Amino acid sequence: MSAATHDRLSADVRARLAASTGTDATDWHLLSKGRHALELVLAQLEPGEVLTQPFTCLTAVAPVITAGHVPTYADIDRATLAMDPRGVGRAVTGRTRAVIGQHTFGAAAPLDRVRAALDEDVVLVEDAAHCLGEMAVDASGRPVADVSVHSFGVEKMLPTRAGAALWVDPSAAGRPWHTRLMHALAGLPGTGLRGAVSEVLSPTALRAGRRLGGPAARLVDRAAAAGLVDKAIMPSELSGMVAGEPAALTGRSLAAVARELPDLAASRRHRRRIASIYREGLAGLADVTRPAVLDEEGRSLVRYPLLLADAAQAEATFDALAARGLVPGRWYRPLLFPGPTDPAPFAHAPGSCPVAEDASARILNLQTAPFVTEEAARAAVDVVRSQVG
């Protein structure tokens, strides 16, 4: 890709994100991955603690560890599956450098209330991976977070495989972390030869690994460890170390984002329609809990979450859906999904976040992606009702 083409595509993506959020395109930066964006932000802070939630994928916590911090955890609210602002004040310590507020499955985290519980020197990071192009704002419409991370990665809002966008609050200019972050962003390298090879090899290799299993899957794992194939969760991240280095979004990945981003509004409309089918079809089931805020009309959910009676029922329903080819999900069962190979760096104490643990034990989620037809959504409703009704 020529420099001129790169600059044109990058400018177009940043302009579209700015238009979607009511911000300025100059405050948006395009990176290789969402976890790289998180890592880069956190690396600019003095070593300390970063508060997050355990009801998440471990790839959202590995950047904390890789950047040299200790992760700490606050419990979630049953209504949002996002960090409960009522517990933030108790969880923050004198060593807390940042708080990561995650919009779980959609735009639901009450970050204005989280912000109110923090001192000014604690950086509020918005994890908007599940709601690309949406940001939490205060009563005046101003973004609440200091930085906001959006994902173009696999299984998010668009059918892209890689990339992230980072918004940095311009009003934070002059704060030490902001100065360091802007310098780091200005010096980001491109993805390089290994990244270019991965862009070409990954789709084919991952399909072969899933289809053939066994030796093929192990070969894909070895290629991923060498950086030649990009998996959704890389082997090193299971023990807390983010794979690869932060880089600018370039090449095929940038081209894919620029191609697909104009369809974001259509994706949101489709997801709202599919969520409404689930909402209406599953109404009144005594053994199914639907988080209240996520179940509001008009939310563009990346997944539609259900809490079933217990883990056994959740897994039986998962199996029944899979048998019909309806692609259910386990996000986030277990906590720190899909579970670390080395729990020590993640520093999560069992029993410390009881609401998150209860939700994690019973969670099942249904796909809302554009490949889900209305017929498939109604079929999924029928399967769930047959299992729990």
Tell me: do 78 and 176 sit in the same domain.
Answer: yes
Cα separation, 148 vs 28, in Å, equals 9
Given this model, what pLDDT does residue 298 score?
Answer: 81
CATH number of the domain to which 81 belongs:
3.40.640.10
- Counting residues of the chain whose pLDDT is more than 70, the rounded percentage is 89
Tell me: do 206 and 137 sit in the same domain.
Answer: no
Cα separation, 47 vs 161, in Å, equals 31
Q: How far is CA 135 from CA 22, 40, 83, 103, in A?
A: 9, 20, 16, 9
E strands within 163-286?
Answer: 164-168
Phi/psi of residue 61, nearest 5 degrees: -110, -30
E strands within 131-242?
Answer: 147-151, 164-168
Average pLDDT in the chain = 91
Tell me, yes or no, whether 160 lies in a domain. yes
Tell me: do 216 and 283 sit in the same domain.
Answer: no
Tell me: do 207 and 311 sit in the same domain.
Answer: no
Statement: residue 197 has pLDDT above 50: no
Range in 57-61, 155-159, 212-216, 258-262 with the lowest mean pLDDT: 212-216
Tell me, yes or no, whether 93 lies in a domain. yes
> Of the residues 186, 207, 222, which one is the last residue of a structural domain?
186
The angle subtended at Cα 234 by Cα 31 and Cα 13, nearest 5°, is 20
Q: Peptide bond preceding 278: is omega within 30 degrees of 0, i.e. cis?
A: no
How many C-alpha atoms does 60 have within 13 Å on its Cβ side?
31
Neighbours of 251 (CB within 10 A): 18
Tell me, yes or no, whether 246 lies in a domain. no
221 pLDDT tier (thresholds 50, 70, 90): low
- CA-wise closest residue to 238 among 102, 79, 66: 66
Tell me: do 132 and 206 sit in the same domain.
Answer: no
Range in 53-67, 127-141, 286-300 with the lowest mean pLDDT: 286-300
Helical H runs in 43-135? 62-66, 85-91, 111-116
Tokens of 69: 């911090």
**1 or 333, which is more confident?**
333
**CB-neighbour burial class of residue 287 (10 A; exposed 0-12, middle 13-18, buried 19+):** middle
Tell me, yes or no, whether 249 lies in a domain. no
Q: How far is CA 224 from CA 83, 120, 243, 251, 340, in A?
A: 32, 40, 9, 20, 17
**Can you name the residues that pair with 166 across neighbouring β-strands?**
29, 149
Tell me: do 91 and 163 sit in the same domain.
Answer: yes
pTM of the model: 0.91
Tell me: do 286 and 367 sit in the same domain.
Answer: yes
Cα separation, 44 vs 22, in Å, equals 26
**253-273: pLDDT as tens digits:** 999 999 999 999 999 999 999
205 pLDDT tier (thresholds 50, 70, 90): very low
Phi/psi of residue 99, nearest 5 degrees: -125, 130
208 pLDDT tier (thresholds 50, 70, 90): very low
Given this model, what pLDDT does residue 190 score?
Answer: 79
Statement: residue 206 has pLDDT above 50: no
Phi/psi of residue 170, nearest 5 degrees: -65, -20
Q: Could you give the number of structural domains in the chain?
A: 3
In which element (H, E) is residue 237 found?
Answer: none
Statement: residue 240 has pLDDT above 50: yes
Tokens of 5: 């083409």
Tell me: do 206 and 347 sit in the same domain.
Answer: no
Scored b (16 or more CB within 10 A) or e, 18-43 reads bebbebeeebbbbbbbbbbbbbbbbb
**62-119: pLDDT as tens digits:** 999 999 999 999 999 999 999 999 999 999 999 999 999 999 999 788 999 999 999 9
- Structural domain including 380 reads 263-388
**219 or 55, which is more confident?**
55
Tokens of 8: 């044109």
Tell me, yes or no, whether 351 lies in a domain. yes
Strand, coil or helix: 59: helix
